[in-house]
């Protein structure tokens, strides 16, 4: 019923830090990513090449990407909204770029200042150019389970946007519960439809834990065949253009659950917790993950 192995994609340095009020220095970001590289994680989303006015926390994207130590076997990815972001990401030699848009019109506009229709050609061009440079491309769809401005989002709309992204040539699709509203019932209903359309090997789930349902949502996703999950160490994070959104499901809580179910992740828990304690100290308050608090006391 459960897979033997799961891939965890660490998004803390991007999704986590983009929404933290405490300023983390470039040096500390680099030190943290270097620690994450030694935990056994195979994928780290290190930053995003977006407009610095929109996300000031990540305005040092280029420097971070250039100065981290690249460990063999780790994919270093970054978020890119348009051609300008792509050019910077390519100059900074990221391994993979992630494009992003929303299933709901209002969140798409608030987040990237375009309608959904206007976004497609922009991302199409980014995907084409990234592929030409030999990069793999990940696509994110946000507000899959609900929008902070519009409420319910239909599965048809999620499928429509996802289909367009796959048509562009993305290698993997990450379905985002941006504001952490999903329940296992909703995840099951969505995945029943999504899995008929797209191969499960190309799907990842991205849960925020705003209402405490993220691990339950991961469990049902696992049971339906999904084996890639995004998470953020310590449960850092959120989306600044989604009011009320809190952090991603915590990598440390997720690893605890998976290892306890005899599902391998390749992650060394001791090293993971060293990295968690490091960033918790820099943030300067107890982070929201549960597992971390059992060892911080
Ligand atoms: P815009 O203002 O519409 O951009 O912003 P524009 O194309 O009209 O250009 C305006 C100015 O911005 C120009 O400069 C451009 O050069 C510059 P000017 O000529 O006026 O001096 N510009 C840029 N500068 C730096 N980097 C760039 C860039 N692009 C244009 N890439 C834009 C459009 C997309 C840039 C803006 O809305 C933006 O940066 N948005 C990012 C918002 C964001 O990062 N949100 C959080 C990430 S998404 C998320 O968290 C959800 C996710 O986790 C999944 C989930 O949870 O569901 C992924
Ligand atoms: Mg997110």
Using pLDDT thresholds of 50, 70 and 90, give the confidence band for residue 246: confident
CB atoms under 10 Å from CB of 159, counted, come to 18
Q: Please identify, by atom number, the ligand 1 atom nearest to the C-alpha of residue 176.
A: 57
Using pLDDT thresholds of 50, 70 and 90, give the confidence band for residue 296: confident
Chain segment 254-267, per-residue pLDDT in tens: 999 999 999 999 99
Nearest to 144 by CA among 239, 64, 58, 68: 239
% residues pLDDT > 70 (the chain) = 98
pLDDT value, residue 202:
98
Nearest CA to ligand 1 atom 22: 51
Segment 200-215 mean pLDDT: 97
Residue 243: pLDDT over 90:
no
Distance of CA 167 to the CA centre of its chain: 21
Using pLDDT thresholds of 50, 70 and 90, give the confidence band for residue 107: very high
As a whole number of angstroms, the distance between CA 159 and CA 279 comes to 37
Using pLDDT thresholds of 50, 70 and 90, give the confidence band for residue 225: very high
Mutation to probe ligand 1, out of 12, 14, 19, 51 (largest number of atoms < 8 A from CB): 51
State the distance between the two ends of the chain, measured CA to CA, in whole angstroms: 36
Using pLDDT thresholds of 50, 70 and 90, give the confidence band for residue 239: low
Nearest CA to ligand 1 atom 16: 84
Residue 62: pLDDT over 90:
yes
Segment 281-296 mean pLDDT: 92
- Is 271 touching ligand 1 by the criterion CB < 6 Å? no
Chain segment 1-39, per-residue pLDDT in tens: 899 999 999 999 999 999 888 889 999 999 999 999 999
Chain segment 67-85, per-residue pLDDT in tens: 999 999 999 999 999 999 9
* Rg of the chain, C-alpha, whole Å: 17
Tokens of 289: 């993950």
Q: Are 144 and 155 in contact (CB under 8 A)?
A: no
As a whole number of angstroms, the distance between CA 277 and CA 290 comes to 13
Using pLDDT thresholds of 50, 70 and 90, give the confidence band for residue 241: confident
Q: Are 103 and 95 in contact (CB under 8 A)?
A: no
Residue 232: pLDDT over 80:
yes
| Close Cβ partners of 132 (under 8 Å, ≥ 6 residues apart) | none
Q: For residue 78, which ligand has an atom nearest its CA?
A: 1
Active site residue 239: yes
Residue 240: pLDDT over 80:
no
Chain mean pLDDT for the chain: 96
Using pLDDT thresholds of 50, 70 and 90, give the confidence band for residue 224: very high
Q: Which helix (H) or strand (E) is 100 found in, with range? A: strand 96-102
Question: Is residue 295 packed enough to be buried (19+ CB in 10 Å), middle (13-18) or exposed (0-12)?
Answer: exposed
Q: Please identify, by atom number, the ligand 1 atom nearest to the C-alpha of residue 18.
A: 46
Tell me what ipTM this predicted complex has: 0.98
Nearest CA to ligand 1 atom 49: 239
Looking up tokens 């107890």 gives 286
Q: For residue 173, which ligand has an atom nearest its CA?
A: 1
- Residue in 24, 33, 137, 239 annotated catalytic: 239
Helix (H), strand (E) counts: the chain: 11, 8
As a whole number of angstroms, the distance between CA 278 and CA 232 comes to 14
Residue 238: pLDDT over 70:
no
Nearest to 195 by CA among 166, 225, 164: 225
């Amino acid at each position: 019923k459960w897979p033997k192995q799961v891939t965890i994609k660490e998004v803390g340095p991007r999704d986590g830090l983009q929404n933290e009020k405490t300023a983390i220095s470039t040096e500390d970001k680099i030190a943290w990513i270097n620690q994450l590289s030694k935990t056994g994680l195979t994928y780290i989303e290190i930053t995003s090449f977006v407009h610095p006015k929109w996300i000031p926390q990540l305005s040092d994207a280029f420097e971070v990407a250039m100065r981290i130590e690249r460990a063999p076997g780790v994919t270093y990815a970054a978020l890119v909204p348009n051609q300008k972001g792509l050019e910077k990401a390519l100059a900074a030699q990221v391994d993979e770029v992630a494009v992003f848009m929303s299933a709901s019109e209002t969140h798409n506009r608030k987040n990237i200042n375009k309608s959904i229709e206007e976004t497609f050609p922009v991302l199409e061009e980014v995907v084409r150019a990234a592929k030409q440079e030999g990069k793999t491309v990940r696509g994110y769809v946000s507000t899959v389970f609900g929008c902070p401005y519009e409420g319910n989002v239909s599965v048809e709309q999620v499928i429509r946007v996802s289909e367009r992204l796959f048509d562009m040539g993305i290698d993997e699709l990450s379905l985002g519960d941006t504001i952490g509203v999903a329940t296992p019932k909703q995840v099951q209903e969505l995945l029943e439809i999504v899995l008929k359309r797209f191969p499960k090997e190309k799907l990842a789930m991205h849960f925020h834990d705003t209402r405490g349902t993220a691990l339950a949502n991961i469990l049902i996703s696992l049971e339906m065949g999904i084996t890639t999950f995004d998470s953020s160490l310590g449960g850092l994070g959120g989306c600044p253009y989604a009011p009320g959104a809190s952090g991603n499901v915590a990598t440390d809580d997720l690893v605890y659950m998976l290892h306890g179910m005899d599902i391998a992740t390749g992650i060394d828990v001791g090293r993971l917790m060293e990295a968690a304690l490091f960033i918790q100290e820099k943030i300067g308050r107890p982070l929201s993950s549960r597992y971390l608090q059992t060892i911080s006391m």
